[in-house]
Amino acid sequence: MFDEVDAQNLSGLVKGGASIYEAAAVEALRRAGAVQPEVLRQFRNALCKHSSGWEEALAVLPVEARGAFREGLVPEVLTVHEARASEIDGAEKLVFRTGDDHLIESVILKPESGRTALCISSQVGCACYCSFCATGLMGFSRNLSVAEILDQVRLVNRRLRGEGRSVRNVVFMGMGEPLLNQAAVFEAAKRLVDPAWFNLSGAHVTISTVGIAPGMRAFAERLPGCRLALSLHSARQEVRERLMPQARSYPLEVLRAALVEAARSGTVMIEYLMLAGVTDGEEDLRALVAFVGDLPVHVNLIPFNSFTGCNLEGSSVAVRQGFADKLKSLGLSVTLRRSLGVDIMAACGQLVQHKLKMD
Q: How many whole angstroms from its chain centre is CA 226?
A: 12
Helix or strand holding residue 303 (H, E): strand 297-303
- Which segments of 16-124 does DSSP mark as H helices, in order? 23-32, 37-48, 54-58, 63-72
Give the C-alpha separation, 273 to 88, whole Å.
22
> Contact at 8 Å (CB) between 225 and 193?
yes
Determine phi and psi for 103, rounding to 5 degrees. -115, 135
**Catalytic amino acids?**
105, 348
Question: Are 274 and 319 contacting, i.e. CB atoms less than 8 angstroms apart?
Answer: yes
Residues 6+ apart with CB under 8 A from 243: 130, 131, 132, 233, 234, 273, 275, 278, 279
Q: How far apart are CA 20 and CA 17, in angstroms?
A: 9
For residue 20, give Cα distances in angstroms to 75, 159, 284: 7, 18, 48
**Angle of helix 182-193 versus helix 213-222 axis, rounded to 10:** 30
Return d(Cα 90, Cα 105) in angstroms, integer: 16
Handedness of CA 107, 244, 246, 128 (dihedral sign): negative
E-only strand ranges, 49-204 = 73-74, 79-85, 92-97, 103-109, 117-119, 123-125, 140-143, 169-172
Helix, strand, coil % in the chain, rounded to nearest 5: 40, 20, 40
